[in-house]
Structure 1
Amino acid sequence: MGLERDVVEAISSHMIGRRLLLNRKIEIPAAAPYAGLQLAHQAAKNKAFSLGVIIALCIIAFLATKILLGVLLYWRWVRTHRFCEISVSGGRMVVFKTTGKSTPPTKLILKKTQSLTKSDIIGSGGYGVVYRLIVDENNVFAVKKLPRGNHDQQRGFEREVETLSDIKHRNVVALRGYYTASHFNLLIYDLMSNGSLESVLYERPPEVPFEWPLRLNIAIGAACGLAYLHHDCIPHIIHRDIKSSNILLDDDLEAHVSDFGLANLLEENKSHATTVIAGTLGYLAPEYVETGKATRQGDVYSFGVVLLELVTGKRPRDDDLVKKGQNLVIWVRSLLDAGKIEEAFDDELRDASFDEEMKEVICIACQCLDSNPSYRPTMQQVLKMLERVILEVDYKSDDGLKG
């Protein structure tokens, strides 16, 4: 009986456990809602991003192609409209086109250039011989002959010349072209009909006057051209040889700065510090002589010497002054210190109506000639000071007319 009872209890327990198991709610983790939609959305985003990248790359490639094509077309236009070029044996002729001026055929210029002789020489200087080139009645040029360097130097020369051809200013002599031959180079400039300031100051006939207002106007024009080279043109240019023979005068006696950039063209080493001093005795700043380093302040010093030439009518190394152990700068300073600056005035300018203006210009020159380069004015400042002088002259002239 006991055994049967145990069996019955065991079966009952099993049945109850099974019933509980059947009645139990089994929780099965449910899948995240909208999982399929999220995956589809992410795939669409990835596809859209890839498509955007492809489109962006296509746009960039298209724009780059357009830019490259534009650059190529521009340089083709430049070569067609900016200059004409003819290749010749051992070199080439390049003529830059100038807005507002007729440009004769390049072949004609080449032919005339190749026929230059010693009889066409109109001058010479530290940089080379200068020829007069008559192409036709409307086109007369000055041609400067320079030595030719090796292959690498020649390539640098041509790059430098093409950079200089971009310089356009009413008070700077325009570079019209160049010619390369096997042993020399030629630079072609507009010819200034009235020569240089040096020739007008010292070589004109005695009966031809050179009055103060004209001298002051030339000083302002030259200052304007040099200020442009120093501050406004790109790249900025240090002239390194400012002197009266490098200030040329046109039909109206307006000043034009010439020979800018030639020192760089002739340098084997393109750095400003050189072992060879460019420039002319009597015009060189003391610090340039000592260091060989060209600076804008050095150009300002040289321009100060030119101002003294205009007021005194004497060369920087006047023979009479050199015999006394002096030069123009030392002589003028000694008179200024002694209160006798009127004795420095050119005999042709001894007119009391301009004495004050000439004194002012001498004072401006002395600022340019300061022994400390940092105390010298810039050419922009020099130009403003000279313009104030001429404004005062005009003002006084107006007062005189009114009286």
Structure 2
Amino acid sequence: MESLPLLFFPFLLLLLLFSASNSEEFVFNGFNNRDLQLDGVAEINSNGLLILTNATKYQQGHAFYKTPLHFKSTANGNLNSFSTCFAFSIVPANPSFGGHGLAFVLSPTSSLQNTFPAEFLGLFNSSNNGNPKNHVLAVELDTIKNPGLGDIDNNHVGIDINGLRSVAAAPASYYENGIHGYKNLSLISGEPMLVWVEYNSQEMKLNVTISPLTVTKPSLPLLSLTTNLSSIFFDSMYMGYSSSSGSMRTSHYVLGWSFKMNGQAPALNPDSLPNLPSKQIPKKNSGLVHKLLITGLAFLIVAISAITYVTVMKIKYAEILDDWELYQYQHLRFSYRELYMATRGFSEEELLGIGGFGRVYKGKLRISKTEIAVKRISHDSRQGMREFVSEIVSTGQLSHRNLVQLLGYCRRKGELFLVYEFMSNGSLDKFIYDETGKKKLNWNQRLSIIKGVASALLYLHEEWEQVVIHRDVKASNVLLDEELNAKLGDFGLSRLYDHGSDPKTTRIVGTMGYIAPELNKTGKVSTCTDVYAFGVLLLEVVCGRRSILQEDYSNSINLVDWLRKSLRRRTIMESWNAEAGSDIKPEEIELVLRLGLLCSHHSDKVRPNMRQVMQILEGDLPMPEVSDASSNL
């Protein structure tokens, strides 16, 4: 019996360790570099203030607690309750505009790579935004309204799960105890505020509360969401902050932070929190006047040189900026200087390609290090420019994993610049027409690309709030990321040439070989004309041949006509590209070839719509006979 306590001791030790792991707690009234892991432009100043982003453009900063925390019980795997409180402040350079906000984040990793600044808050990019595999919970303090993400206004608090389209949101405000009402808050006021994020695992309820630093915690939360986070959280999660700025210079600060697992987070001590830079009182310096007098003469000389330099730079980097852009589109504007520096002066070494609408350059933003592609277009007049920019901005609100993300624009003199995310593998045509044999796509990759483009067109035609007709679907406008995922680019770009034109004339937009027959007759575009071009693209991807086949110096044949003859001769299966590899599936190749011919049918009434195309590709709808002019769809 005397050995029983010795046998019991290991179990007691495990019980203590288990209890400790489920009651993790900390409180930081200010920070030091040992508390947090930092990346991007995030830093901690000498007073212990966490600076996520400073007053520069298009940057992002991350700060995570040094170790992951166990959010699930090691005994039964159940999710623990938790509570956290933090003090923050957002200080814009222009008191009227913020950009873009900050977020409290719980993530499986503290290394948020390949993320974008601006509206993505340094959390996601255009490819993974909304992906269930992210396993990310965030509470956003958003100061820019982005309709493409469903934002309710430019001053709101939102709960985000795996993406920036909030599952719950409300204008920034707090419940005034004793008055029984909510009082508005301005997130960009520059004043310190407190946020509480609390989750009750038994009730599966997530509460978010906000108030000024000087106000007692409100008795009612701003947001209350019933959700089971067990499927979102891993056993261990990192916890911290992410922030980003756009075209408006804004500083985002965190002053203090507390946390407790399975309990109430400790209160922060307002008197112990670090001062904001704008509120720090400079120490008296008796030698200040003396130093100013000594440097005065030198400053005068330097000032003359600086004025001359600034004048030259203003001329060099001069932009067009109308009043209507200041309020509606300022958050999407890049400065010409930023783009000039990013592309090394639009160097020929950074040139990615030349198309019918201008040149495309590779660039890297100086601060955020984000890689971009800049399309440089000439325009002769400002007539219709406001409408065009409105359409471009509207297009920029599109958000789909198979669309190239438009990040913003710039106008300067006789030029317009469109800024897109950079696609590392370039355009599809360089793969399917490659004569060197170095760039190859197997059949599974080709089929995945086809489905990706089809998904993008379905979104443009039917799933966005307005119908968007691409008007120039072709291989060179399909771009591939580092994993060879397809993204459709250049949507809406042709509109530049329609604004200000004579309404009595019709200009056919598109590329020879992809233009639907009815366009030559009526000049009217529709979703059917996009479907026709997509059909030609299918045939090119399978065959590895261009839409116009050059037989010799004087003769050429249309790829669609050539394959239609092969179909009648029952030799169509001889037309696929041998470079597709050994993983080919003949039944899939035949289906895609027949679908391509159906989409590129001379009659627009026979062509399927993009939803039907997706259903055929996924095997949910049978493939009708191409030769049957009466559509069975």
Confirm or deny a common fold (TM above 0.5).
yes
2:594 match: 363
Name the SS for the 1:375 alignment partner. Answer: coil
Matching residue within 312, 327, 330 for 2:543: 312
Asked whether the equivalents of residues 95 and 176 of structure 1 are also in contact (C-alpha less than 8 Å), the reply is: no
Name the SS for the 1:280 alignment partner. Answer: coil
Shift of 1:112: 2.9
Counterpart mapping for 1:199-210 below 5 A: 199-203=430-434, 205-210=436-441
Name the SS for the 1:167 alignment partner. Answer: coil
Name the SS for the 2:540 alignment partner. Answer: helix
Matching residue within 261, 266, 281 for 2:512: 281
Name the SS for the 1:388 alignment partner. Answer: coil
Asked whether the equivalents of residues 538 and 593 of structure 2 are also in contact (C-alpha less than 8 Å), the reply is: yes
Residue 422 (structure 2) pairs with residue 228 (structure 1): no
Counterpart mapping for 1:97-116 below 5 A: 108-109=338-339, 111-112=341-342, 115-116=345-346
Asked whether the equivalents of residues 407 and 419 of structure 2 are also in contact (C-alpha less than 8 Å), the reply is: yes
TM-score using structure 2 length: 0.45
- State which drifts further: 321-330 or 359-368: 321-330
Name the SS for the 2:510 alignment partner. Answer: coil
CA distance in 2 between counterparts of 1:96 and 1:273 reads 36
Shift of 1:157: 2.2
Shift of 1:234: 2.6
Q: Which structure exhibits the higher relative contact order, with contacts defined as CA atoms closer than 8 Å and separated by 6 or more residues?
A: 2
Asked whether the equivalents of residues 443 and 583 of structure 2 are also in contact (C-alpha less than 8 Å), the reply is: no
CA distance in 2 between counterparts of 1:326 and 1:354 reads 28
Cα offsets for 1:67-123 (capped at 9, x unmatched):
xxxx9x976659x899525997332597857xxxxx999974564358223332210
Counterpart mapping for 1:71-220 below 5 A: 77=155, 84=247, 89-92=318-321, 108-109=338-339, 111-112=341-342, 115-136=345-366, 138-203=369-434, 205-220=436-451
Shift of 1:172: 0.3
> Any stretches of 5+ residues in structure 2 without a counterpart?
1-144, 146-150, 157-187, 189-243, 250-313, 621-633
- Structure 2 vs 1, CA of residues 281 and 166 (structure 1 numbering), >3 Å: closer, same or farther? same
CA distance in 2 between counterparts of 1:149 and 1:328 reads 36
Greater strand proportion: 2
Matched to 1:277, the amino acid is: I
1:266 match: 497
- The alignment yields a C-alpha RMSD, in angstroms, of 3.3
- Structure 2 vs 1, CA of residues 198 and 252 (structure 1 numbering), >3 Å: closer, same or farther? same
1:9 match: none
Cα offsets for 1:170-191 (capped at 9, x unmatched):
0000000111101101000001
CA distance in 2 between counterparts of 1:227 and 1:82 reads 32
CA distance in 1 between counterparts of 2:487 and 2:502 reads 27
CA distance in 2 between counterparts of 1:140 and 1:170 reads 18
Asked whether the equivalents of residues 367 and 377 of structure 1 are also in contact (C-alpha less than 8 Å), the reply is: yes
Matched to 2:452, the amino acid is: G
**Quick one: percent identity of the two aligned structures?**
32
1:329 match: 560
> Any stretches of 5+ residues in structure 1 without a counterpart?
1-70, 98-102, 390-403
CA distance in 1 between counterparts of 2:581 and 2:419 reads 40
Name the SS for the 1:293 alignment partner. Answer: coil
Name the SS for the 2:601 alignment partner. Answer: coil
Name the SS for the 2:360 alignment partner. Answer: strand
Shift of 1:235: 2.2
2:474 match: 243
- Structure 2 vs 1, CA of residues 91 and 239 (structure 1 numbering), >3 Å: closer, same or farther? same
- Structure 2 vs 1, CA of residues 287 and 168 (structure 1 numbering), >3 Å: closer, same or farther? same
Matched to 1:121, the amino acid is: L
- Structure 2 vs 1, CA of residues 215 and 74 (structure 1 numbering), >3 Å: closer, same or farther? closer
CA distance in 1 between counterparts of 2:335 and 2:506 reads 42
Cα offsets for 1:271-313 (capped at 9, x unmatched):
9995221100001101012211111100000000000011111
CA distance in 1 between counterparts of 2:245 and 2:615 reads 34
CA distance in 2 between counterparts of 1:386 and 1:321 reads 35
Q: Which is greater in Rg?
A: 1
TM-score using structure 1 length: 0.69
Asked whether the equivalents of residues 321 and 328 of structure 1 are also in contact (C-alpha less than 8 Å), the reply is: no
- State which drifts further: 351-360 or 339-348: 351-360
Greater helix proportion: 1
CA distance in 2 between counterparts of 1:197 and 1:350 reads 17
- Structure 2 vs 1, CA of residues 353 and 259 (structure 1 numbering), >3 Å: closer, same or farther? closer
- State which drifts further: 267-276 or 310-319: 267-276
Name the SS for the 2:465 alignment partner. Answer: coil
Shift of 1:388: 2.1
Asked whether the equivalents of residues 247 and 334 of structure 2 are also in contact (C-alpha less than 8 Å), the reply is: no
- Structure 2 vs 1, CA of residues 304 and 82 (structure 1 numbering), >3 Å: closer, same or farther? farther
- Structure 2 vs 1, CA of residues 370 and 202 (structure 1 numbering), >3 Å: closer, same or farther? same
